[in-house]
Amino acid sequence: MNTLRFIQITDTHLSDRADGTLRGLNTADALAAVVTHVRECESRIDGVLATGDLSHDGGTPSYRRFVQLLAPLNAPVYCLPGNHDALGLCACALKGPRVQSGGRRLAGNWQAIFLDSAVPGAVHGHLRPAELARLDNALSEHPERHALICLHHQPVPIGSAWLDALMLDNAAAFFDVVDRHANVRGMLWGHVHQTFDVTRNGVRLLASPSTCIQFKPGCNDFTLDDKPPGYRWLELHADGGIETSVEYLHHR
Ligand SMILES: [Fe+2]
């Protein structure tokens, strides 16, 4: 029971219209299929980590649809914005009894911190001084808790030039904060629509597939992958260990 089990759902790219598509894929249908798969395969969910680009065009109906589509998981949903999200609307539309936008969650021996790296009108990411200070304070406040940091943009290059031009532009300042604290165990992001899993100074750095289209790893120019929609599960153990893997839906 001391182990926490989370599901990461990212880059759902929902439209205001229910029949909205991205590169020919109906994103609402794709998310519904992922949710069905999660319900069938995941025995317990302590929370859903939704790491941005929840909406593709940033309208209220798309956020309402996001909440509705995740409702069958019957779990709290923790959201943060991506470059496609309308920031104010995202925070407003995603408030509710089971939905939290930004902030943090304390559970078990852990603290999950949800950062806003979105820059209005831009695709790359940036953590404002206030957001870096919030991270620093949260980590200082609970040195006894293991920490998982969630954001939208990658803080390290992933090996695709076109995506790495759109990463967090002040990653050095971010790691200055992270490296001051011994309790950070992992960080988790979206944005890159692909799996990534490396360890830096003992901290697990993780990116995950989108619930819709995927980008092909290792490409210098925009290239789609033929992988199906996916998600990540994470088990956060009481001793700070992280067990995790990604799951892809079968090709339909
Ligand atoms: Fe995205």
Strand 110-114 and strand 184-189: pairing?
Answer: unpaired
Give the Å distance between the CA of 192 and the centre of ligand 1: 7
Number of domains in the chain: 1
pLDDT at 251: 56
Interval between CA 132 and ligand 1 midpoint (Å): 23
Q: What number is the average pLDDT over the span 166-185?
A: 98
Report d(CA 75, CA 82) in Å as an integer: 22
Judge contact between 191 and 83, C-beta under 8 A. Answer: yes
pTM of structure: 0.96
Q: What pLDDT shows up at residue 13?
A: 97
Quick: pLDDT tens for 196-221.
999 999 999 999 999 999 999 999 99
Q: What is the mean pLDDT of residues 119-144?
A: 97
**From ligand 1's centre to the CA of 145, what distance in Å?**
30
CATH number at residue 179: 3.60.21.10
Domain span at residue 132 reads 4-248
What rounded mean pLDDT belongs to the chain? 95
- The DSSP annotation for 13-76 comes to -B-SSTT-EETTEEHHHHHHHHHHHHHHH-S--SEEEEES--BSS--HHHHHHHHHHHGGG-S-
pLDDT of residue 174 exceeding 70: yes
- 87 has a pLDDT exceeding 80: no
Which residue, among 165, 166, 168, 155, has the nearest Cα to 196 in the 3D structure? 155
Residue 252 has pLDDT above 60, yes or no: no
User: What local confidence, expressed as pLDDT, does residue 1 receive?
Assistant: 57
Residues of the chain with pLDDT > 90, as a percent, come to 89
Q: How confident is the model at residue 34 (pLDDT cuts 50, 70, 90)?
A: very high
Looking at the predicted structure, is the pLDDT value of residue 24 above 60?
A: yes
Question: How many angstroms is it from 140 CA to the middle of ligand 1?
Answer: 31
Q: Work out the average pLDDT over 99-118.
A: 96
User: How much distance in Å is there from the Cα of 11 to the middle of ligand 1?
Assistant: 4
Confidence band for 81, pLDDT divided at 50, 70 and 90: very high
Instruction: Kindly give the distance from the C-alpha atom of residue 56 to the centroid of ligand 1, in angstroms, as a whole number.
Output: 8
